[in-house]
Amino acid sequence: MAPHLTVVIPVYNEESIIASAAEELRQGLDARGLDYEIIFAENGSRDATPAILEELCASNPRLRWFHSETPNYGVALKAGILKARGTYVICDEIDLCDLTFYDAALPRLERGEADMVVGSKAAKGASDQRPLIRRAATRVHNKLLKVALGFQGTDTHGLKAFRREALLPVIQKCVVDMDVFASEFVIRAWREGLRVMEIPIQLHEKRQPSIHLFKRVPNVLKNVGKLFYVIRVRGT
């Protein structure tokens, strides 16, 4: 039987927080009486994350995980969404898992007010506790998406909730991986005329970002360039 909600969480080298974060999330979802599944989309981990996931999922049928060798956030997230069975899907991050977003986003989807709800850390009313350099990077990334792709919103990375059936055709069209997949997914949803709504979030990370910011830049530029060509030049 398809659950009401699938939570998809990409994970990579998260041995320090995965067990506690998963337990906290499970308790929160159980307390709300939701019919849910959680899919951990893991790839490339070199620490004990896969072993911990194996144990967690063996002891709870609502939890699933899958693995592949190469670390790639976009590939993991996309595969997780395609494996989801829920009427609604929430894409979370293991260092966030804040049920406040679920409480705000799910009713809006259930009432049919939106096809996708994006949790924005840069919208009016949001608070972002990350270091200044990370907040600045988010602003620069959004400017780039605005100039290159005409993106009108304030954030594409991070929390999203959506009606699975409405977004499946969109995800089939996505062409980039790594970090920019998340941006492509949201931008294509806007461009396809789906009802995308942003809500401000209060961002508290359970740990520092695990991937060095500047290492991500070349890939982001390459993939935004590819998207510019595919969407704006070829028009697909």
Ligand X SMILES: Nc1nc2c(ncn2[C@@H]2O[C@H](COP(=O)(O)OP(=O)(O)OP(=O)(O)O)[C@@H](O)[C@H]2O)c(=O)[nH]1
Binding site residues, ligand X, CB under 6 A: 9-12, 14, 41-44, 71-73, 76, 93-95, 134, 157-158, 209-211
Could you tell me the CA-to-CA distances from 31 to 105, 140, 171 in Å, in that order? Answer: 17, 39, 31
Query: Which residues inside 14-53 make contact with Mg ion, applying CB under 5 A?
Result: none
Min dist CB 33 to Mg ion, Å, is 29
Binding status of residue 177 toward Mg ion by CB under 5 A: no
Report the half-sphere exposure of 192 (CA within 13 A, side-chain side): 21
Closer residue to Mg ion in complex, CB, 15/205:
205
Pick what 184 binds: Mg ion, ligand X, none; C-beta below 5 to 8 Å, kind-dependent.
Answer: none
Closer residue to ligand X in complex, CB, 37/49:
49
Distance CA 231, CA 236 (A): 5
Terminal-to-terminal C-alpha distance of the chain: 35
Could you tell me the CA-to-CA distances from 65 to 47, 102, 104, 169 in Å, in that order? Answer: 16, 21, 26, 24
Could you tell me the CA-to-CA distances from 38 to 2, 109, 159, 189, 208 in Å, in that order? Answer: 12, 19, 15, 23, 23
Min dist CB 73 to Mg ion, Å, is 11
Report the half-sphere exposure of 235 (CA within 13 A, side-chain side): 0
Closer residue to ligand X in complex, CB, 12/190:
12
Beta bridge partners of 162: 89, 116
Closer residue to ligand X in complex, CB, 11/231:
11
Binding status of residue 95 toward Mg ion by CB under 5 A: yes
Binding status of residue 179 toward Mg ion by CB under 5 A: no
Pick what 9 binds: Mg ion, ligand X, none; C-beta below 5 to 8 Å, kind-dependent.
Answer: ligand X
Closer residue to ligand X in complex, CB, 24/192:
24
Query: Which residues inside 187-216 make contact with Mg ion, applying CB under 5 A?
Result: 205, 209
By rule CB under 5 A, what count of residues binds Mg ion?
Answer: 3
Min dist CB 1 to ligand X, Å, is 27
* Chain positions contacting Mg ion, by CB under 5 A: 95, 205, 209
